[in-house]
Amino acid sequence: MRNVEASTVRDVESIGYASACAALRRPGSMDDMNRALLSSLRSRWVNPQPQKWIGHLARLIWPPVCVICGQASDRLEDCCSGCATELPMPRGGCRRCGVVLARDIEVCGACQSSSPCFDRTIPAFEYQRPVAHLIQRFKFSGDLAAGRVLARQAAERWLERDVARPQLMVPVPLNWRRLWKRGFNQSEILCRDLAEHLGGLPWVGALTRVRPTATQSALPADRRAGNVRGAFRLNRLPPGVRHIALVDDVMTTGSTLDECARVLKRSGVARVDAWVVARA
């Protein structure tokens, strides 16, 4: 089984860092570095053109079926426009940890007493049907069409809400054993598809899960932070990256994202947002 995280970092090292570093060494702004980084990464990772045309052609021959209602889709996507508009929007709550509350607030009481390492939680949807069902199909049954729909719809919601754009997306990694069993890392696939829908926003598998952890959903909330403590290692980050979005499918207690953000911040990243398809 190919170690996806490791190979992704090797790819960055070979094609992305040199031009980003060169930009940093030149007198100039952070924007220079961002542009260099973006263009160097885009050509390798975010080059969906050939697949895109093949995809369009295939969809003309075999019109897409909506993954939610099962009817023929009224557009060239696996989700019809009716189902797309009915996806459950996230309810208001704490902007920091994303806990659902009666109204939007900057920081809830829990965050005031113990702040998570990430700065913002940005869920695209509430964890309800049909989103919850699509996530389960994607993650546990390998339904990649469901994953594509989730990424596209999440990207559209974030664009509509004009969320702060990070310099880089980083997927939450899987341990190699789980990666081998599942065959793919759902967060990495989400990053890949989000990059396409967000104008080539770069992403890199900057973190590795260095030890297997028990499935978070199988543990009580008070044991989840301990379960993931020390479970992640930073591989390498492009220089000068100050704002990262960690990407995951679902946030429940946020312990996993908190631990990932802790590792990124330790390396000097100033802001880490948690981009999740759904907040449970």
Site string for Zn ion, 98-137 (x = CB under 5 A): ----------x--x--------------------------
Could you write out the DSSP letters of every residue in 43-70?
HHHS--HHHHHHHHHHHHHS--B-TTT-
Q: How many C-beta neighbours within 10 Å does residue 166 have?
A: 23
Question: Which range in 19-27, 62-70, 130-138, 244-252 contacts Zn ion by CB under 5 A?
Answer: 62-70
DSSP-derived pairing of the beta strands 232-234 and 207-209: antiparallel
Query: Using the rule CB under 5 A, which residue among 9, 36, 41, 96 binds Zn ion?
Result: 96
Please state the φ and ψ torsions of residue 203, each to the nearest 5 degrees: -140, 155
Question: Least separation, in Å, of the C-beta of 185 and Zn ion?
Answer: 27
Question: Least separation, in Å, of the C-beta of 94 and Zn ion?
Answer: 3
Residue 94 within binding range of Zn ion, rule CB under 5 A? yes
Give the nearer residue to Zn ion in terms of CB position, either 23 or 261: 261
For residue 90, what are the CA distances in angstroms to 84, 195, 264? Answer: 14, 22, 26
d(CA 262, CA 230): 10
Residue 65 within binding range of Zn ion, rule CB under 5 A? no
Residue 66 within binding range of Zn ion, rule CB under 5 A? yes
Please state whether 93 falls in left (phi above 0), alpha (psi between -120 and 50) or beta. left
d(CA 277, CA 123): 5
Question: Least separation, in Å, of the C-beta of 131 and Zn ion?
Answer: 13
Query: Using the rule CB under 5 A, which residue among 68, 174, 257, 277 binds Zn ion?
Result: 68
- Binding-site size, Zn ion (CB under 5 A): 10
Query: Using the rule CB under 5 A, which residue among 12, 20, 38, 83 binds Zn ion?
Result: 83
Residue 21 within binding range of Zn ion, rule CB under 5 A? no
Query: Using the rule CB under 5 A, which residue among 97, 151, 189, 247 binds Zn ion?
Result: 97
> Does residue 239 contact residue 204 with C-beta atoms inside 8 Å?
no
Residue 69 within binding range of Zn ion, rule CB under 5 A? yes
Please state the φ and ψ torsions of residue 239, each to the nearest 5 degrees: -65, 145
List residues binding Zn ion (CB under 5 A).
66, 68-69, 80, 83, 94, 96-97, 108, 111
